[in-house]
Structure 1
Amino acid sequence: MSSLPMIRRRDKLPWAHGRSRTFLRRLAGRKVNLIAGLILVLLALAAILAPWLAPHDPLVQNMSQRHLPPLSPDHPLGTDNLGRDLLSRMLFGARVAGQAAATSVGIGMAIGVVPAAVAGYLGGWWDTILSRVADTLLSFPPLLLAMAIVGAMGPNLTNAMLAIGIVFSPRFFRVVRAAVLSVREETYIEASRAIGTPTRRIIRRHVLPNALSPLIVQVSLACGFAILSEASLSYLGLGVNPPDASWGRILLEGREALFYTKWPVALPASAIAISVLACNLLGDGVRDSMGNDRRS
């Protein structure tokens, strides 16, 4: 009897490690996945190291150096309409984008994942009520719903991240619920019920781990949408408050100087587009790699 747990652990670990190695090999087998991952890693490093990489204080104004073009002395990316260094503001804008993506996706998962597991596993009126709540939230356009929430709570970054997280929650709910519905009738779930395993333990130990694959894909895609949503809310004046730096805020302020220079608009717009594209490409790569792994 004492050797049984050891045999089960030896059987389990090589399978798990082998599956992880297969997934990583397939994910790294496509150049587009590597490029997307490298872009996101560089953006994350830029956000983390922004206080040390920024050549100037992003909030300091110098009206004598307004609208400087890129490659100007001491200002590699030029300056904006208030003489603030664009490179410094872009770096701190990356920090805001990363913070918004991580926090809003975390809030969306916290709100959506556990109710989805309960609804999918228990079914009945639990499933009916929670699914109707998710469908109601999904019936609103995402950005419009986020604008309404921020407008009611007040425009700032914290409320913007909370609003984006609430918008994400029904999407996480649907993904996890669908995965749980496909798992709950498996033989090992029925065996766990038969031996009297508590429902809470079954959901935590067996159901949620099997919903992890589609959840990871959804997280990758949601990060890109979070970056875009935060920039949109800041552009509309419902996100980061001035004078703090955000890609959406830089884009808004650069729009007023289009007659003088296009760089304050082109730089944040390019950063937003590249970040969102990298998140979507990496999400597609993760989905394809996991799909191949499941089919093998």
Structure 2
Amino acid sequence: MSVTTTRRPALPRIPIGAAIGLFFTTLFGITAVFAPLLAPHGLGEIVGDVWLPMSAEHWLGTDNLGRDLLSRMIYGARTTIFIAAVATAISFMLGSLLGFTAAVVGGWFDLVMSRLVDLLMSIPTLIFALVVLSVLPSNLLTLILVMGILDATRVYRLSRAVAVDINVMDFVEAAKLRGEGRAWIIFREILPNALSPLVSELGLRFIYAVLFLSALSFLGLGVQPPEADWGGMVKENKDGIVFGVPAALIPAAAIAALAISVNLVADWILNRTTSLKGGRGNV
């Protein structure tokens, strides 16, 4: 008498690098969402002397004005991640839609859009943003829109290049022969097959947005006081480096940790989606 055993499908194993990246990315995300609950002090509350060392009362010490650095870091995570995430979402929605449309429509629309994007990309992004932000009102909406529109040029280039290759494939030609419209071609034929490179680019664009925001805040045209973000905190406490105060190095380390962790997760997702596609193709 034989007993048949049912094997459960093995759970996908996460590489150690991706697991570390996922842990820190989740940690940063939770910190950003629950910042008011996690911060021991208020955003602008003066709690002691200037640049106090780390202690049981102030785990990361105080900043250049005597504010609790841990609380500022927690609120800074919320501002930095929120602005970078929204700007990245805008850049992907705008850039991918225009890129796919240019590849499908072609003709004069593709020519005009490509030359306009070439013009914007020929100007150094940081200099262009500094000029625009120095003229427009300094608020979060302006900052997010400027970052999103400037970053959309990179997404446009990638999405158009991917869509041009997919647009000439047999299944797209078959959809055109069935009489499907351009919206169907873009969202039902091209978009699902372009997700792998776009997912990888999503992580890179988010990292770029974090670094770009930090650079703008360090130069004084990003997040304005009394709001906190990590780039602005580096600027506020940079004079303490001369005296051996780590208040400027802690937010800089947080920026690097966020960038590395998101990059590890994005690489794992790209490898995962690519292997899944390859496995389905061999069946």
TM-score of the aligned structures, taking structure 2 as reference length: 0.89
Encode CA deviations 1:227-283: one digit per residue, 9 max, x unaligned: 111111111110111121111111111113334442211110100111112222323
Describe the shift of the 1:109–1:50 C-alpha distance in structure 2 as closer, same or farther (beyond 3 A). same
CA distance in 2, matches of 1:262, 1:288: 41
Encode CA deviations 1:75-124: one digit per residue, 9 max, x unaligned: 11110121100000000000011111111011112321111111111222
CA distance in 1, matches of 2:40, 2:243: 24
CA distance in 2, matches of 1:268, 1:162: 24
Residue matched to 1:39: 24
1:164 paired to 2:147: yes
CA distance in 2, matches of 1:285, 1:208: 20
Q: Percent identity?
A: 35
Correspondence for 1:131 among 83, 98, 114: 114
Correspondence for 1:196 among 172, 179, 183: 179
* 1:167-186 map, 5 Å: 167-186=150-169
Whose helix proportion is higher, 1 or 2?
1
1:288 paired to 2:268: no
How many pairs are equivalent? 271
- Asked if the contact 2:196/2:274 (under 8 Å) is kept, the reply is no
AA in 2 matched with 1:159: T
The 10-residue stretch of structure 1 (101-110 or 198-207) with the greater mean CA deviation from structure 2: 198-207
- Asked if the contact 1:121/1:181 (under 8 Å) is kept, the reply is yes
Q: Secondary structure at the match of 2:247?
A: helix
CA distance in 1, matches of 2:245, 2:52: 11
1:214 paired to 2:201: no
- Asked if the contact 1:119/1:127 (under 8 Å) is kept, the reply is yes
* 1:79-94 map, 5 Å: 79-94=62-77
CA distance in 1, matches of 2:244, 2:141: 32
Correspondence for 1:141 among 124, 147, 152: 124
1:233 paired to 2:216: yes
* 1:113-128 map, 5 Å: 113-128=96-111
The 10-residue stretch of structure 1 (231-240 or 105-114) with the greater mean CA deviation from structure 2: 105-114
Residue matched to 1:269: 252
CA distance in 1, matches of 2:195, 2:274: 13
- Asked if the contact 1:213/1:290 (under 8 Å) is kept, the reply is yes
The 10-residue stretch of structure 1 (260-269 or 151-160) with the greater mean CA deviation from structure 2: 151-160
- Pairwise CA RMSD: 2.0
- Asked if the contact 2:240/2:246 (under 8 Å) is kept, the reply is no
Correspondence for 1:245 among 214, 228, 246: 228
Residue matched to 1:7: none
The 10-residue stretch of structure 1 (130-139 or 220-229) with the greater mean CA deviation from structure 2: 130-139
- Asked if the contact 1:66/1:83 (under 8 Å) is kept, the reply is yes
